[in-house]
Chain A
């Protein structure tokens, strides 16, 4: 039998302890979006940010986002004939940090910013549905059904008038 003197029984263990309101207000979710043209550097930096969050006791999650590609053409002088053509891919990685105290966020972001490698840009913002949608293949049938639902809504509105 282990003495309770050395191992005092913890309160609320066994049953679900009620989630306490944190003393310092927290950001629920914050996306740190990293973008760059060199994905090896980007990937390694994503790892760094993720590790840094782990070390600082911030729960974090990371995922890749499909690259955005552009074709860049330069013209010959005084004409629109193509001189050079380049295909550029802008790669993107997102690290999401969750339940971070408001006082911790500026510190953390400053650490990330201080360590930004060459050619990588960062943006910390709240998660957007548009950004999230871009990661997925659009489901045409689902969209079709949703438009039908919207049409029903519209018909309902018109009947009310």
Chain B
């Protein structure tokens, strides 16, 4: 007798695959070798990329606004040529200013020279007194650095100033462009 209809009932699901194999434990020496090889390649690539040089961020205040640069010819003012007296007085003023700056520079240099000289004399005297103290005196002062100072401000603090409410938001451009999803750098 032959059976022609399908056997419609099953006790368990059909298994169309072998049972899972045991995970093979990778050979340690091979793994180490593979990692060493990968490391060498990575290091080589990094060295190559570093040799190319890094790209500096643009300095906006130096480069200027490009749209503004295009309209530069429109912005030039047409001025009347200076009269003889005016140009003469300006030249004289410039000379006076130069003389003043020169004098200022000379005074400054003088002060610095005096300070340097007296420092040297003091150090020499100290050395005559005791070599040990001298050696201590010329050492690098570790507490001196960082040396932070604030320049003068436009106005003295306004007493009783009512500070308005507000916020500071850092908007510094980061220049960071993430790699596209799934991008893989090919090691050479």
Q: Least Cβ distance of A104 to chain B in Å?
A: 8
Question: Which of A66, A73, A123, A138 sits near B147, CB closer than 8 Å?
Answer: A123
Give chain B residues whose Cβ lies under 8 Å from the Cβ of A70.
Answer: 168-172
By the criterion CB–CB under 8 Å, are A67 and B164 in contact?
no
Q: Judge whether B154 is part of the interface by a CB distance below 8 angstroms.
A: yes
Once the chains are docked, how many angstroms separate the CA of A105 from the CA of B145? 10
By the criterion CB–CB under 8 Å, are A87 and B42 in contact?
no
Q: Is the interface of A mostly helix, strand, loop or mixed?
A: mixed
Q: Judge whether A21 is part of the interface by a CB distance below 8 angstroms.
A: no
Mask for A96-139, Cβ within 8 A of B = 1, else 0?
00000111011101010100111111111110000000111111
Once the chains are docked, how many angstroms separate the CA of A91 from the CA of B115? 32
Q: Judge whether B119 is part of the interface by a CB distance below 8 angstroms.
A: yes
By the criterion CB–CB under 8 Å, are B166 and A73 in contact?
yes
By the criterion CB–CB under 8 Å, are A140 and B176 in contact?
yes
Q: Judge whether A62 is part of the interface by a CB distance below 8 angstroms.
A: no
By the criterion CB–CB under 8 Å, are B61 and A152 in contact?
no
Question: Which of B42, B115, B119, B137 sits near A152, CB closer than 8 Å?
Answer: B42
Question: Which of A66, A73, A122, A140 sits near B149, CB closer than 8 Å?
Answer: A122
Q: Judge whether A146 is part of the interface by a CB distance below 8 angstroms.
A: yes
Identify the closest chain B residue to A138 (Cβ).
Answer: B176
By the criterion CB–CB under 8 Å, are A136 and B164 in contact?
no
Among A31-73, those with CB < 8 Å from B are 36, 39, 55-56, 64-73
Q: Judge whether B18 is part of the interface by a CB distance below 8 angstroms.
A: no
By the criterion CB–CB under 8 Å, are A142 and B138 in contact?
no
By the criterion CB–CB under 8 Å, are B170 and A68 in contact?
yes
Q: Is the interface of B mostly helix, strand, loop or mixed?
A: mixed
Q: Judge whether A145 is part of the interface by a CB distance below 8 angstroms.
A: yes
Q: Judge whether B23 is part of the interface by a CB distance below 8 angstroms.
A: no
Q: Judge whether B141 is part of the interface by a CB distance below 8 angstroms.
A: yes
Q: Judge whether B150 is part of the interface by a CB distance below 8 angstroms.
A: yes
By the criterion CB–CB under 8 Å, are B165 and A74 in contact?
yes
By the criterion CB–CB under 8 Å, are B164 and A74 in contact?
yes
By the criterion CB–CB under 8 Å, are B54 and A136 in contact?
yes
Once the chains are docked, how many angstroms separate the CA of A83 from the CA of B176? 32
Identify the closest chain B residue to A110 (Cβ).
Answer: B115
Among B90-107, those with CB < 8 Å from A are none
Mask for B146-185, Cβ within 8 A of A = 1, else 0?
1111111110000000001111111111111111000001
Mask for B105-148, Cβ within 8 A of A = 1, else 0?
00011001001100100010000000000000111110011111
Identify the closest chain B residue to A78 (Cβ).
Answer: B165
Give chain A residues whose Cβ lies under 8 Å from the Cβ of B109.
Answer: 55
Q: Judge whether A12 is part of the interface by a CB distance below 8 angstroms.
A: no
Give chain B residues whose Cβ lies under 8 Å from the Cβ of A146.
Answer: 46
Q: Judge whether B86 is part of the interface by a CB distance below 8 angstroms.
A: no
9 A-B residue pairs with CB within 8 Å: A25-B138, A70-B172, A75-B164, A75-B165, A103-B137, A105-B144, A106-B141, A122-B149, A159-B28
